[in-house]
Amino acid sequence: MRPVPPPSMLDDTTSPVFATAEEMPAWVRDTFIDADSPIHNPDHAHLRFADIGFLWTTVGNSKKGRRVIGQCETGSPQGTMGKWSRARAEMQVKQWFGHVPDFIITLDAEYCRECGDAEFMALVEHELYHAAQDVDALGAPKFSRTTGRPVFVIRGHDVEEFVGVVRRYGADAVGVRAMVDAANQKPEIARVQIAHACGTCQLKVA
């Protein structure tokens, strides 16, 4: 069965607006990272060595006029912060997970409760694709000289374009041919495999 947000989080207005999704790391590893899984994705092989913390949230979020339902960030606070602000942020992360993970993936609890299995799996994998291993100037994976572990970074999207531009000028002109070709192929993940991984009855598979 796929993990679900705790009912009290959505039904009780006094519940915390963030809660650790304790079942998610094992489910993600068993579903997408384990080579023996029927829907194993080799693109996530580097995440065998990653420590990923997951959070449910009831806080609404939007960006550029669109609802945000998932977000992947590095575990250590990023950006310009003072010493106290950084220490406070790290303390909160440690209170959630007991340590600072390599990545934190936050999921919209309301969306995850209502969406179908295919949508849930697509959301989780979308965020996993952001959790990348850094590469050197030659494109080779980077590893830490001190620990030997992969050097992790946040990866941007492969494609960011307007449907209208693609419609007017074509996939080749705007550099999205690979995405269009992938969309025109039969999905790699079949309905029966989704049911096996998630276990709910109603599938909203396009």
Give the residue ranges of DSSP H helices in 19-173.
24-28, 83-97, 109-114, 117-130, 163-169
Residue in this structure with the two tokens 């030997």, named with its chain if needed: 148
Between CA 199 and CA 2 the distance in angstroms is: 7
Q: What is the pLDDT of residue 190?
A: 62
Tokens 């340590």 -> residue: 99
> 133 has which bridge partners?
152
pLDDT of residue 79: 75
Alpha-carbon span 202 to 163, nearest angstrom: 29
**How do residues 13-63 score in pLDDT, each as one tens digit?**
777 799 999 999 999 999 999 999 988 999 999 999 999 999 999 998 888
3-class DSSP state for residue 183? Answer: helix
Task: Give the C-alpha distances (Å, rounded to integers) separating 105 from 9, 60, 89, 113, 116.
Answer: 18, 15, 15, 16, 19
Distance CA 154, CA 104 (A): 11
Question: By C-alpha distance, which of 125, 123, 108, 129 is closest to 204?
Answer: 123
The verdict on pTM exceeding 0.95 is no
pLDDT tens per residue, range 97-152: 999 999 999 999 999 999 888 889 889 998 999 999 999 989 899 999 999 999 99
